[in-house]
Amino acid sequence: MGQWIINLKHGYGFKSYANRDWYDGAWRMDLQDGIGRYEWNDETNYIGEWRNGTISGKGTFVWANGNVFEGFWKDGLPKGNGTFKWPDESYYEGNWSKDNKEHNGTYYPSKPLEDRQCEWDPKELYNYLSEYSVYPAEKVLVLPSQNRLIVWKSTKVMDNGNKPRRISVDGKVSVSLDSYTYTLLSLRPKIHRPHENMIYMASTIPIH
C-alpha cells in the first residue's frame, strides 16, 4: 500500500513479498529510492539509504543474531567508512572494500585488557551479506498510452511552429515553464477498490 504514479510505486509505501520479506519506505518509479527499511523473514533488517532499488548510501544492517554493521554502502555492499559490532560490544572499525588494497581497519575488544589481535577476517562480512538478497523488482507493463503522462499546452504560438511538447514517465522535458499550462497527476484518488491501493486522476494547473 502507498503512493503510485499510474501503475508504478512512487513516493512512500509498504510492500510485502511472497517470501515474507517486506520493505517500508521511499519509492521512485517502482524501485526503492531514498530512506527505507527492508526486513528479511528471519528478522534481519537494513535501515538506511537506497538508490535505484539497491542499498547505497549510509545505513545500518542488523542480523538476527545481534551482529550489526553501520556505515556506508555502494551497490549493495559496504564501501567506505563503517563499523562491524558483535553482541559482546567488541567491534571492528575501518575503511571497507572488497579490494584488499583499499581495505584497512582496527579491532577493538569489549574489555580494554584483552588482546587486540583479532582472528576474525573482515572479509567474512561479505560472506554474511551474501546470504541476504533483496527480493527482485517486479516487471511492470507501461502501455504506450501511459507513456505520455504530462501534456504541455501553449497559451501562445511557439516561435518554431512545433506542436506542444509532451513529458514522459521519466519526467524529462526541454521546454520552458513560462506562459504554459500543463496537466499533471494529482494525489486525489478517483477509484478505490479492494486490493488496489490508489488510482490517480489528472488535473490542470496554470503556470504564471
Residue 149's pLDDT is: 44
Which range among 16-25, 129-138, 188-197 shows the weakest confidence by mean pLDDT?
Answer: 188-197
CA distance 90 to 96: 17
CB 1 within 8 A of CB 197: yes
Contact 84, 69 (CB under 8 A): yes
Contact, 170 vs 156, CB < 8 A? no
Handedness of CA 182, 186, 189, 195 (dihedral sign): positive
Per-residue pLDDT at 32 exceeds 50: yes
Of 43, 33, 35, 40, the C-alpha closest to 17 is 40
Q: How far apart are the first and last CA of the chain?
A: 35
> Each residue of 116-172: pLDDT tens digit?
566 788 889 999 999 999 998 766 555 544 444 433 343 444 555 655 444 444 444
- Which among 114-118, 175-179, 184-188 has the top mean pLDDT? 114-118
Q: Which domains does the chain carry? A: 2-130 (2.20.110.10), 144-206 (no CATH)
Interval 10-33 mean pLDDT: 93
Task: Identify the residue with better confidence: 153 or 48.
Answer: 48
Q: How far apart are CA 29 and CA 134, in angstroms?
A: 17
CA angle in degrees (0–180, nearest 5) for 28-206-203:
55
Indicate the DSSP class of residue 134.
Answer: P
HSE value, Cβ hemisphere, 13 Å, CA-based, for 144: 0
pTM, two decimal places: 0.65
SS (H, E, C) 140-198: CCCCHHHHCCEEEEECCCCCCCCCCCEECCCCCCCCCCCCEEEEEEEEEEEECCCCCCC
Burial class (CB within 10 angstroms; exposed 0-12, middle 13-18, buried 19+) of 179: exposed
pLDDT(192) > 80: no
Residue 144 CB neighbour total at 10 angstroms = 6
Residue 10 has a pLDDT of: 86
